[in-house]
């Protein structure tokens, strides 16, 4: 009989649903989701509405830049549209969080290309599964003659494999490929690197 009883956590259904949805987010367990839910419950109504509206706006308006595949709420992102940027210098990163990390260092004046992943054969991810083809097409069709591509993939096995593959693909089209200097820790992600380390890695990049 007891096993047929529904689990009752003492929360109203609306709170239970909110906790369930919050716990779907990465790094958010049930306890953290519960604390967030109670915090939201105790906040003024206008703050909760503002949060809900910002989430909906983000989902409806934010997509990928047609040129670099970074996050944008317009066909082209502000970086790609900026005439002050060095459009003949492209920094290739694995994800949007890596792009933001380099931007925070405030030492890079070029533009970006976001791969949205790295080559990982064991996980079934090959060159065609990330934005490598789009990068090569961009280089061939770019109005600005790109003279250098900085490969800023993470210092992981997958990141290194992606960097070597890119370097191999870039040589036939006459574009110099450089790699970030080893100021970045092996196995680390750009997203979690501090600005000084990223600045040093950018300035000390080497040709592949």
Statement to judge: residues 105 and 56 lie in one domain:
no
Residue 67 lies in a domain: no
User: Is the model's pTM score more than 0.85?
Assistant: no
Residue 35 lies in a domain: yes
**Predicted pLDDT of residue 199:** 74
**Predicted pLDDT of residue 5:** 39
Statement to judge: residues 107 and 180 lie in one domain:
yes
Angle at CA of residue 144, ends 140 and 149, nearest 5°: 65
Radius of gyration, CA atoms only, the chain: 22
pLDDT tens-digit map of 165-194: 999 999 999 899 999 876 666 666 777 777
Which domain does 160 fall in, by range?
A: 77-207
Statement to judge: residues 21 and 110 lie in one domain:
no
pLDDT tens-digit map of 124-141: 999 999 999 999 999 998
**Residue 16 is part of a domain; what is its CATH number?**
1.10.8.420
Mean pLDDT in the chain?
89
Is the pLDDT score of 208 beyond 80?
Answer: no
Domain count, the chain: 2
Is the pLDDT score of 8 beyond 70?
Answer: no
Q: What would the mean pLDDT of 72-83 be, rounded to a whole number?
A: 95
Residue 23 lies in a domain: yes
Statement to judge: residues 46 and 101 lie in one domain:
no
Q: What would the mean pLDDT of 51-60 be, rounded to a whole number?
A: 96
């Amino acid at each position: 009989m007891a096993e047929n009883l529904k689990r009752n956590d003492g929360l109203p259904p609306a709170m239970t649903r909110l906790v369930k949805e919050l716990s779907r987010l990465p790094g958010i367990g049930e306890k953290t989701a519960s604390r967030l839910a109670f915090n939201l419950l105790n906040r003024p109504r206008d703050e909760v509405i503002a949060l809900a509206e910002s989430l909906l706006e983000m989902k409806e308006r934010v997509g990928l830049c047609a040129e670099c595949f970074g996050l944008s709420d317009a066909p082209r992102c502000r970086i790609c549209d900026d005439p002050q940027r060095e459009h003949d210098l492209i920094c290739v990163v694995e994800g949007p969080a890596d792009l933001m990390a380099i931007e925070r260092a405030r030492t890079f004046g070029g533009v970006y290309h976001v791969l949205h992943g790295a080559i990982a054969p064991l996980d079934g991810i090959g060159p065609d599964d990330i934005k490598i083809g789009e990068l090569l097409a961009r280089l061939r069709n770019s109005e600005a003659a790109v003279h250098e591509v900085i490969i800023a993939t993470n210092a992981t096995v997958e990141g290194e494999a992606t960097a070597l593959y890119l370097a191999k693909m870039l040589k036939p089209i006459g574009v110099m490929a450089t790699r970030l200097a080893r100021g970045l820790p092996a196995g680390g992600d750009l997203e979690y690197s501090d600005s000084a380390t990223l600045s040093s890695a950018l300035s000390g990049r080497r040709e592949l």
